[in-house]
């Protein structure tokens, strides 16, 4: 019995040291559903990031202190599309999932409904806007850009204003909206093969 308890304790210690490499999870599930990794939960004012070196979610720093959004909190779950890398910068495609708040490290199956393009210092920063793929997790019923735009123009306006004003250190200009086809093309383009 002591040997069995010792073995179980050893296995538990080994597993506690296991960490998930969220950045290198598959972009799509085996059933071809797009995935997103939540870094910052909806409703949070603290910007979290996945640290690839430590494989942990950490607070983004600004002037040596934890970065706090001094505007409205995140209007959705903010994170990234795993196994994507934009332009060789080691930065994955960013995504905001309109859903109930999810903990950092939650992996959601999603449906892109559009892309909000931001111009920051002359460089385009695409923000994929998505909803959960599971109907039971959806707060809105839009499965493409046309239905999202028609049914939820106020959400589009809120997201535009939030992204334009949440970070005064990096002033942004609106570069426009693109549809779900553009989102899927971007994902295909920036997937690590």
- The answer to whether residues 92 and 78 touch, using CB atoms and an 8 Å cutoff, is no
Residue identified by tokens 């979290």 is 48
22-58 per-position pLDDT tens digit = 999 999 999 999 999 999 999 999 999 999 999 999 9
The answer to whether residue 4 is domain-embedded is no
Q: With bands split at pLDDT 50, 70 and 90, how would you rate the model's confidence at 67? A: very high
CA angle 24, 30, 31 (to 5 degrees): 135
- Mean pLDDT, rounded, of the chain: 90
Query: Radius of gyration over alpha carbons of the chain, in Å?
Result: 18
| Residues spanned by the domain of 38 | 20-190
End-to-end CA distance of the chain: 48
Closest CA to 38 of 28, 56, 50, 27: 50
Tens of pLDDT along 172-192?
Answer: 999 999 999 999 999 999 998
Question: Can you name the residues that pair with 58 across neighbouring β-strands?
Answer: 49
For residue 18, the model assigns a pLDDT of 57
Asked whether residue 63 carries a pLDDT value surpassing 80, the answer given is yes
Tell me what pLDDT residue 90 has: 80
pLDDT at position 6: 44
Q: What is the Cα 193 distance to its own chain's centre? A: 20
Pick the residue with more confidence: 124 or 99? 99
120 within some domain: yes
Residue 97 is assigned to a structural domain of this protein = yes
3 lies in some domain? no
Contact 118, 109 (CB under 8 A): no
CB atoms within 10 A of CB 42: 19
- Confidence at residue 144, expressed as pLDDT on a 0 to 100 scale: 97
- pLDDT higher than 80, residue 13: no
Structure-block tokens of residue 20: 């998930």
What's phi and psi for 165, nearest 5 deg?
-120, -5
Tell whether 80 is covered by a domain.
yes
Separation between Cα atoms, residue 39 and residue 23, nearest integer Å:
11
In this structure, is residue 143 part of a structural domain? yes
> Is the residue at 39 inside a domain?
yes
Q: List the CATH number of the domain containing 103.
A: 3.90.80.10
Percent of the chain with pLDDT over 90: 81
Compute φ and ψ for 176, nearest 5 degrees: 110, 180
Report pLDDT for 88.
67
Across the strands, what pairs with 114? 129
Q: How many domains does the chain have?
A: 1
- Report whether pLDDT(101) > 90: yes
Residue 153 in domain: yes
pLDDT for residue 8 is more than 60: no
């Amino acid at each position: 019995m002591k040997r069995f308890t010792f073995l179980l304790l050893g296995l538990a210690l080994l597993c506690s040291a296991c960490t998930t490499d969220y950045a290198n999870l598959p972009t799509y599930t085996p059933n071809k559903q797009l995935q997103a990794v939540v870094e910052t939960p909806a409703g949070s004012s603290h910007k979290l990031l996945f640290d690839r070196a430590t494989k942990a979610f950490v607070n983004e720093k600004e002037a040596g202190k934890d970065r706090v959004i001094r505007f409205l909190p995140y209007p959705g779950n903010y994170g990234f599309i795993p196994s994507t890398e934009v332009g060789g910068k080691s930065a994955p495609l960013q995504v905001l999932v309109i859903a109930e708040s999810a903990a950092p490290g939650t992996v959601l199956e999603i449906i892109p409904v559009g892309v909000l393009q931001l111009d920051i210092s002359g460089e385009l920063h695409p923000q994929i806007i998505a909803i959960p793929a599971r109907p039971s997790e959806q707060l809105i019923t839009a499965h493409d850009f046309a239905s999202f735009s028609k049914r939820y123009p106020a959400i589009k306006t809120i997201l535009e204003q939030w992204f334009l004003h949440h970070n005064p250190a990096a002033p942004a200009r609106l570069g426009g909206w693109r549809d779900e086809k553009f989102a899927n093309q971007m994902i295909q383009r920036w997937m690590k093969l």
